[in-house]
Amino acid sequence: MTDVRLNMAKVEAEAAAPPRRRPGTALSRERAAWGFVAPALIAIGVFFAIPVFAALLLSLTDFDIYALADLHNVRFVGLQNYERLFANPLFWGAMKNTGLFAVLGVPLSIAASLAAAVILNARVVKWRPLWRVMFFAPYVTTLVATAVLWNYLLHTRYGVINWAIASVGLPPVDWLGQPENSIPAILMFVVWKIFGYNMLIFLAVLQTVPDDLYEAARIDGAGAWKRFTNVTLPAIAPTLLLVSIISVAGFFQLFAEPYVMTQGGPAQSTVTVLYFMYEEGFKWWNLGSASAVAFVLFICILAVTLVQLAVAKRMGAYE
Amino acid sequence: MGNEATNVPQILPEFERLNPGIKVDVQALPWTAAHQKLLTAYAGDSLPDLSQVGNTWVSEMAAIGAISPLPSVAGDLLTDQFPAVLETNRIDGRPVATPWYVDTRLLFYRSDLLEQAGHGAVPQTWVGWKEAMHAVKRRAGADKFAVLLPLNEFEQLLTFGLQGEEPLLKDEDTRGNFSSASFVAALAFYKSLFDEGLAPVASAAQISNVWTEFERGWFSFYFSGPWTIGEFKNRLKPETRWMTSGVPGPTGPGASAPGGSSLVVYRSSPRQEAAWKLVRFLSDPAVQARFNVITGDLPARESAWATPSVADDPYIAAFKGQLSRAKAVPKVPEWERIVTEMQIVAERMVRGEYTPEAAGAEIDRRADRLLEKRRWMMERGRA
């Protein structure tokens, strides 16, 4: 009996506890919340905030090969790295190339992945899992392996692409040897490589669009294109924004593709900002000015993203 | 690195047989990434025991203190070597690296075309050489050229510049000396070859295939190093006659920059003694002569040149003379960057933006800016 009474008391106490404890435990709840986010915050601090701050400091010094030998050889130079950077024509060339990659590549890759997603989402398509795997495979394949493969595809004399061009009677194109062709050539490769990832995101969100909306539109007499622009696009607008932000950041950080395929050439036509930074930092070992490049790039990406957000807000993509 | 890394395992079993207990582990690096990888390895404290190092990088590796100085017992490795190469490897008066194989650039030319133009051999002065080039061009036609000087390569102009009496850097290598009379003369000579239609205004990327163009006589003189001997032997048709010749200078046979690779033992290595044993093995004249047969690399030890396989190759003969006239380039870590800037200015000069005098001054301005840190270090007595 005592056991039961004890238990009853416990139950009563527990039942009464929540209302009593609520005002007093706001603090401890907050503490618990901090506890939960602490691992993430510590990781961000150690792997993001501290390195970024260190890079900012580094960009104000002339850390170079002499400093590697002896730390006393580092000097604080203020904004000199930035000044020299802005006076360097190769840096502006790299900015221009990166801008070109982003301006052409972002819409291209989004269009490709959206088109693939819409087609795969259609009921009439058979073997859908197979197609999904095929479209997604390039994204998960090692970059260097695919780049080597594309070097063959793009080969001037023996490449499949030029063979196709020649079979319709056009002259062959020197894809990776001529400055004016190298950016389109690399763009083709990059878009092919990454569109599968965005396609998956689009596929996921397309499946959340309710069918009755399409039905209603069809009853109202909307054709396929009308249904796409008036039902699909508004429904996936927030995702479109997310994908465009990720793509812009990705294209601004283009490095491995030109590094593997062209080494920045021909005539420095595929030197991107990140490639320029790599050469400055690891070829010439001017870590100070390489950090300055990194910061300029960071600010550029931030600015473009803010503009994208503002545009999206005006268009009502998110609240 | 590159070709050497592919082929050195062929000769190492003999070393391992002679030195039981030492096992050599070869790590191959591509030439294009080797420089970065070595510096990164230094920063990350993961250098190998010893490595091949391009001769132009020796000063840099020494400046950061990565290289172990030559022990006194290894002194004899430095005998029987080309003086200019040794000079490149001497930092602050101390030798720090052992030359392994050598190269330098000289002229490859179409002996048949030169003969048709009335010259038996390449004249050894700038004036005479230019006359010969005009004669070749007259025969070849207006749409062809005499010499290929790719505008994105600094080696050709550097060769002409080295031939002058005045050094390329002054004030203990802390300032550019590119507006000196002798360098401006080199700039003017270089520019005149383009202005007079003897060299095409083109960069290497625009010439799709050097061998085909050389074969067609699009140009008859080509600046390159020993590796081209093998390429020409393999790729040119047998009836195309060509030869090598020393580089003409302002007043007689001219100098050129010594290249090639040296072997260095790193300070961080715990196996110094074994590492030096391997250096000694690879420096042995007989081993070097064998390595020449395998790779085509020219041996660093002069006595290895007497081996029949080296001595009987007619194309190699000119290299020996050229190497004895080689002249070391300034030994500052910034050198590679300075010559890169030099060539950027030179290309603009060829395209008409500068006169030779103005180009010299502009190169000086850029070199001085690159050397600013070095001047500061010198003032503090640290360099």
Residue of chain B minimizing CA distance to A89: B344
Architecture in CATH of B106-256+331-379: 3-Layer(aba) Sandwich (3.40)
Distance (Å) from the C-alpha of residue A74 to the closest C-alpha of chain B? 10
User: pLDDT of chain A along its 319 residues, tens only?
Assistant: 344 444 444 444 444 444 545 555 788 889 999 999 999 999 999 998 998 899 899 999 988 888 877 788 888 888 889 998 998 888 999 999 999 999 999 999 999 999 999 888 887 788 888 988 999 999 999 988 998 888 888 887 778 888 888 888 888 887 877 778 888 999 999 999 999 999 999 999 998 888 888 889 889 888 888 888 888 888 888 889 889 888 988 899 899 888 888 777 676 788 899 999 998 888 888 889 999 999 999 898 889 889 888 888 887 655 5
CATH 3.40.190.10 range(s) for chain B read 2-104+258-312, 106-256+331-379
B225 touches B157 (CB < 8 A)? no
Cα-Cα-Cα-Cα dihedral sign, residues B366, B368, B372, B378? positive
Nearest to A118 by CA among A198, A12, A23, A14: A198
Give me the residue label for tokens 């150690």.
A46
CA–CA separation, B324 and B127 (whole Å): 23
CATH code linked to domain A86-315? 1.10.3720.10
Put simply, whether the predicted model's pTM sits higher than 0.90 gets the answer no
CATH code linked to domain B2-104+258-312? 3.40.190.10
**Per residue in A9-33, pLDDT tens?**
444 444 444 454 555 578 888 999 9
Q: Residue B373: which of A62, A263, A284 has the nearest Cβ?
A: A62
Number of helices (H), then strands (E), belonging to chain B: the values are 18, 12
**Per residue in A119-164, pLDDT tens?**
888 877 888 889 889 999 999 999 889 988 888 888 877 788 888 8
Cα–Cα distances (Å) from B299 to A70, A271, B255, B328, in that order, read 36, 38, 19, 18
Cβ of A73 within 8 Å of Cβ of B377? The answer is yes
Identify all chain A residues contacting B42, using CB atoms and an 8 Å cutoff. 68
Q: Supply the pLDDT for residue A8.
A: 47
Identify all chain B residues contacting A174, using CB atoms and an 8 Å cutoff. 208
**Per residue in B121-171, pLDDT tens?**
899 999 999 999 999 999 888 888 999 998 888 999 999 999 988 999 988
Cα–Cα distances (Å) from B92 to A246, B88, B242, B379, in that order, read 53, 11, 42, 17
Residue ranges covered by each domain of chain A: 86-315
Complex prediction ipTM = 0.70
Tell me which residues of chain B, numbers 323 to 342, contact chain A at a CB-CB cutoff of 8 Å: 333, 337
Q: What's the token pair of residue A159?
A: 């490449």
* Residue B55 pLDDT level (bands cut at 50, 70, 90): confident
CA–CA separation, A123 and A140 (whole Å): 26
Cα–Cα distances (Å) from A117 to A70, A123, A196, A200, A245, in that order, read 55, 12, 9, 7, 19
Q: Residue A267: which of B32, B40, B205 has the nearest Cβ?
A: B205
* Residue B342 pLDDT level (bands cut at 50, 70, 90): very high
CB contact B381 to A (< 8 Å): no
- Nearest 10 degrees: Cα torsion B35, B37, B39, B44: 180
Tell me which residues of chain A, numbers 177 to 206, contact chain B at a CB-CB cutoff of 8 Å: 177
DSSP line for B285-351: HHHHHHHHHHH-PEESBGGGGGSHHHHT-HHHHHHHHHHHT--PPP--TTHHHHHHHHHHHHHHHHT
